[in-house]
Structure 1
Amino acid sequence: MRLVLDLDSEAPIYQQIRDRVVEAIADGSLAPGASLPSTRQLAVDLAINFHTVNKAYDLLRREGIIRVNRKSGAVVHPDVRTATAELRVGTDWERRLRTLLAEAVVRGSTEEEVDAYVRATLEGFAQRNEGGGGER
């Protein structure tokens, strides 16, 4: 798994790690049951504090996206699609989506532009999943 982080971003590094893992699952780069690097190894690879990686993994665990086990480490939840069903309505996911849509409106994006971007993004995830994913 290869993660690209933007150290100049306003988004915290742990949130970026969380987001890149979710995107890798969505596009098929990380399949259900796939192992993630240990927090220490990923921290070394990214040259960041391991507590930052631990915070990202804990967030993913609380969201039901990964499972953390002392023996097997962090793995993508085997049934991630049903484990995250509660994210659909009235939760943090919905609030984050609302904020992103508000940003699009504030920046002058039209409904058609937002819709086209959403469709293209979802189609990109679907195409990657059909094609077997790949390195990220």
Structure 2
Amino acid sequence: MKIMIVESDWQFTVRAVRYFEFRGHWVVQESPQGLAGRARSWQPDLVILAAEYASEETLNSLRALPGTPAILLSEHMSNFKQAWAAWQRGGDELLMKPVFRASELQEAVVTAMENATLSRQKSQSHSMAIA
């Protein structure tokens, strides 16, 4: 699986990269400014995005990649409102930091993939109902 991480917390990023690469995944870290272009060219299977970078423009660029789930990270409960709003606009899972166990990260990946699949299925059935 190809995973793109857009996060300024280098400690989280290093641990996440190590975790995913150890399991055979390809991982890149990208800046918020480079996200749209890199995502189009690299076509990640999953994006892990700090909630503070989840602007409408950023989420729209992710929606242009059909079937690419996004995990939104929020560092503090004080940012929860912002993270929740971003999740409602297009995230597939919300993960609160700090992430202490690798199993938390794995659970977030599984949930995001499941949510993205359900979202696609709903969209397809809605399209079929209209036709």
Give the TM-score normalised by the residue count of structure 1: 0.27
Which entry has the higher C-alpha Rg, 1 or 2?
A: 1
Give the TM-score normalised by the residue count of structure 2: 0.28
- Structure scoring higher RCO (CA < 8 A, sep ≥ 6) equals 1
